[in-house]
């Protein structure tokens, strides 16, 4: 075969190869056509949320329970602080003279003052309500009840303090006590006064006459329901023995009696505030701390769930006349009182009977 012919076939072969190779690529198995599957998307079942029953709504109100016949001074004093405390706690505020168990559903705090004879049943019927009871000796302890005794403490301690104070400021020990006849409290106060005086000055023998057969103090016990004639007789007895300072037990401290004592130039120790008519003869008032000083702290504890306490406010001075009781004398009496309340000094009186121990 000629060289020319070979070249012809070679060129033809190359041309055919060029044409065939792309065709082979196109003949490669085609990419598989994706199978389209129709998916049915089923949404997860919608959970039907059944709303929980609404929780019992939190009590939204504070109530001052001041029954008919309650002490208006105490009620007014509480009303000067309770509205502010309630507002700060986000509570409403209401004053009522009576309260039933059915009315406590939306009440968070009840502050009760005497005379309330339904307190224990209310406390039991409403465990979700917190109670603060002032001067309620019949209140039964309960987890939701805080009680406060704002009275002048034990009668024997009250009398002991008054006796010690009286002789500390009186020349020649000429002191006396006006108490209540026929009651344990009256007996306790009268004997406590004598023992407080003895604690200060022993026999307390006067240097100048008159000299009472029984010595000082001069004790006069007034009957229940005493009136002007009884008061005049008591004042006359004190004048006879030249008594200069007298302690008047709270149960017999009628304002007219106190005015009569002042008119007789006798200085007075009491367990209450003085009247303007005889303030110059007022030595001091004995009693417990001002309730308004302790209510805010107790209120905070109650709202924090710290209830159930039984609080007895300590005995002390609630007011003094600096013209008759000097700071030095008061400091001396305060030191004795601290020991008395701590139990280092005993009154010598059984407070349950009013008799000597």
29: in domain: no
Are both 189 and 221 inside the same structural domain?
yes
Q: What's the number of domains the chain is made of? A: 2
Are both 144 and 168 inside the same structural domain?
no
Q: What is the pLDDT of residue 268?
A: 98
Are both 124 and 78 inside the same structural domain?
yes
Q: What is the pLDDT of residue 101?
A: 94
Are both 273 and 171 inside the same structural domain?
yes
Q: What is the pLDDT of residue 17?
A: 55
Are both 138 and 195 inside the same structural domain?
no
pTM of the model as a whole: 0.66
pLDDT in tens, 293-314: 889 999 999 999 899 998 878 8
Q: What is the pLDDT of residue 60?
A: 87
Are both 93 and 240 inside the same structural domain?
no
pLDDT of residue 262 exceeding 50, the answer is yes
Q: What is the pLDDT of residue 149?
A: 82
DSSP state of 209: S
Confidence of residue 31 (pLDDT cuts 50, 70, 90): very low
Q: Which residue has the higher pLDDT, 48 or 264?
A: 264
Cβ partners under 8 Å of residue 184, min gap 6 = 155, 351, 352, 353, 354
Are both 247 and 342 inside the same structural domain?
yes
Cα–Cα distance for residue pair 242/240, rounded to 1 Å = 6
Are both 349 and 236 inside the same structural domain?
yes
294 three-state secondary structure? helix
Helices (H), 27-49: none
Domain extent for 67? 61-149
pLDDT of residue 251 exceeding 60, the answer is yes
Q: What is the pLDDT of residue 19?
A: 53
Are both 135 and 162 inside the same structural domain?
no
What value does the mean pLDDT of the chain take? 86
pLDDT of residue 39 exceeding 80, the answer is no
Peptide bond into 210 cis (omega under 30): yes
Are both 136 and 237 inside the same structural domain?
no
């Amino acid at each position: 075969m000629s060289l020319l012919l070979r070249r012809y076939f070679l060129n033809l072969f190359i041309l055919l190869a060029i044409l065939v190779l792309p065709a082979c690529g196109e003949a490669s198995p085609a990419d598989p056509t994706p199978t389209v599957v129709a998916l049915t998307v089923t949404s997860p079942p919608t959970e039907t949320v059944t709303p929980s029953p609404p929780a019992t709504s939190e009590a939204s109100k504070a109530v001052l329970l001041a029954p008919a016949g309650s002490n208006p001074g105490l009620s007014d004093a509480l009303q000067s602080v309770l509205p502010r405390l309630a507002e700060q706690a986000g509570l409403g505020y209401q004053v009522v003279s009576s309260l039933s168990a059915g009315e406590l559903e939306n009440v968070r705090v009840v502050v009760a003052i005497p005379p309330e004879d339904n307190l224990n049943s209310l406390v039991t019927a409403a465990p979700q309500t917190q109670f603060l009871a002032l001067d309620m000796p019949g209140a039964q302890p309960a987890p939701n009840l805080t009680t406060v005794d704002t009275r002048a403490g034990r009668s024997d301690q009250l009398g002991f303090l008054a006796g010690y104070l009286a002789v500390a400021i009186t020349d020649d020990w000429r002191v006396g006590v006006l108490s209540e006849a026929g009651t344990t409290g009256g007996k306790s106060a009268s004997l406590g006064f004598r023992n407080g005086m003895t604690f200060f000055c022993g026999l307390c023998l006067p240097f100048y006459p008159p000299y009472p057969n029984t010595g000082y103090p001069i004790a006069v016990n007034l009957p229940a329901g005493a009136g002007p004639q009884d008061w005049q007789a008591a004042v006359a007895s004190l004048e006879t023995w030249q008594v200069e300072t007298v302690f008047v037990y709270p149960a017999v401290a009628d304002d007219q009696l106190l005015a009569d004592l002042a008119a007789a130039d006798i200085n007075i120790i009491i367990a209450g505030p003085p009247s303007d008519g005889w303030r110059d003869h007022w030595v001091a008032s004995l009693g417990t701390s001002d309730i308004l000083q302790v209510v805010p702290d107790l209120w905070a504890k109650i709202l924090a769930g710290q209830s159930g306490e039984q609080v007895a406010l300590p005995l002390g001075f609630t007011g003094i006349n600096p013209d008759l009781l000097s700071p030095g004398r008061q400091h001396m009496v305060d030191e004795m009182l601290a020991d008395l309340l701590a139990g280092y000094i005993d009154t010598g009186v059984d407070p349950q009977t009013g008799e000597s121990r």
